[in-house]
């Protein structure tokens, strides 16, 4: 029986990963979770916006998109991990830190998974030959934030430094993050010879570098070239910053 349940879950997760354009009906209160170490636990609010009850399962992983609750090993507990959620009702997930040793000088990144399994169809609906049911999974970044980190996370994006580097036959922007916070970039552009150019975006880890290719740029721009970028804050809201390319 256990093997059957595990196989079913793997199949459901495969459906989740392939269900592009399908939207979950279990709404999560926020687009990211910030876990302050001093608090010891956080609460995430869920709302079932569906007209029917659903089964909800949640777990946390270290970055493996194919993770399952049985395969993960993380320093957090979630209660309740599996529950029925009635239509138009709310439920809180309580996430508790179990005190595994994590870096104290920077944030650590984990991922919160919320899997929504619809009920088995009954009656006329069950007789439909065109019925397709999908289990939908949402994945949110969970940032574990140690106490007494230096600086203000809301001001961290302003401390990013930029330089132009060769990237094959083209040019990329290499961004350095000197802060202890993860910074997610959603828009990035620069102006060269009066022409606006866009670059790829991503998330730069604490005290690390990230290379972001620039579209249609073959020569390195001069030092002082302005860079404009948008970063997400703790609440998932965008904030715009400007900087320049270093020599």
DSSP bridge pairs for 145: 36
- Write down the pLDDT at residue 18: 42
User: Is 2-145's fold the same as 156-244's?
Assistant: yes
In contact, 28 and 148? CB cutoff 8 Å: no
d(CA 134, CA 16): 7
d(CA 42, CA 48): 20
68 DSSP 8-state letter: -
**Domain coordinates in residue numbering, the chain:** 2-145, 156-244
DSSP bridge pairs for 241: 229
Q: Collect all residues with Cβ–Cβ distance below 8 Å to 18 and sequence separation of at least 6.
A: none
Sheet arrangement for strand 208-213:
161-167, 170-177, 208-213
Question: In CATH, what is the architecture of 156-244?
Answer: Sandwich (2.60)
Q: How far apart are the first and last CA of the chain?
A: 63
Strands (E), 146-237: 161-167, 170-177, 183-192, 195-198, 203-204, 208-213, 226-232
What's this model's pTM, rounded to 2 decimal places? Answer: 0.86
Q: Give me the tens of pLDDT residue by residue for the chain, a chain 247 residues long.
A: 444 334 444 444 444 444 444 567 899 999 999 999 999 999 999 999 989 999 999 999 999 999 999 999 999 999 999 999 999 999 999 999 998 899 999 999 999 999 999 887 766 655 666 666 678 999 999 999 999 999 999 999 999 999 999 998 899 999 999 999 999 999 999 999 889 999 999 999 999 999 999 988 999 999 999 999 999 999 999 999 999 999 9
- Write down the pLDDT at residue 24: 75
Question: In CATH, what is the architecture of 2-145?
Answer: Sandwich (2.60)
d(CA 107, CA 144): 6
């Amino acid at each position: 029986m256990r093997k059957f349940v595990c196989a079913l879950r793997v199949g459901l997760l495969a459906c989740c990963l392939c269900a592009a354009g399908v939207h979950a009906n279990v709404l999560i209160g926020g687009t990211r979770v910030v876990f302050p170490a001093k608090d010891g636990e956080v609460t995430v609010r869920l709302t079932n916006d569906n007209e029917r009850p659903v089964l909800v399962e949640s777990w946390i992983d270290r970055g493996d998109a194919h993770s399952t609750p049985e395969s993960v090993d993380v320093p957090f507990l979630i209660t309740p991990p599996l529950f029925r959620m009635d239509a138009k009702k709310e439920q809180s997930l309580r996430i508790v830190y179990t005190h595994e040793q994590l870096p104290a000088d920077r944030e650590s990144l984990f991922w919160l998974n919320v899997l929504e399994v619809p009920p088995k169809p009954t009656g006329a609906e069950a007789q439909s030959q065109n019925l397709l049911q999908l289990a939908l999974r949402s994945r949110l970044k969970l940032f574990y934030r140690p106490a007494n980190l230096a600086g203000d996370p809301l001001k961290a994006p302003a401390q990013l430094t930029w330089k132009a580097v060769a990237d094959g036959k083209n040019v990329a922007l290499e961004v350095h993050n000197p802060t202890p916070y993860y910074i997610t970039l959603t828009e990035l552009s620069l102006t060269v010879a009066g022409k606006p150019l866009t670059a790829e975006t991503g998330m730069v880890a604490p005290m690390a570098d990230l290379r972001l290719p620039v579209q249609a740029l073959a020569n390195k721009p001069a030092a002082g070239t302005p860079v404009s970028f948008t970063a997400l804050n703790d609440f998932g809201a965008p904030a715009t910053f400007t900087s320049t390319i270093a020599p």
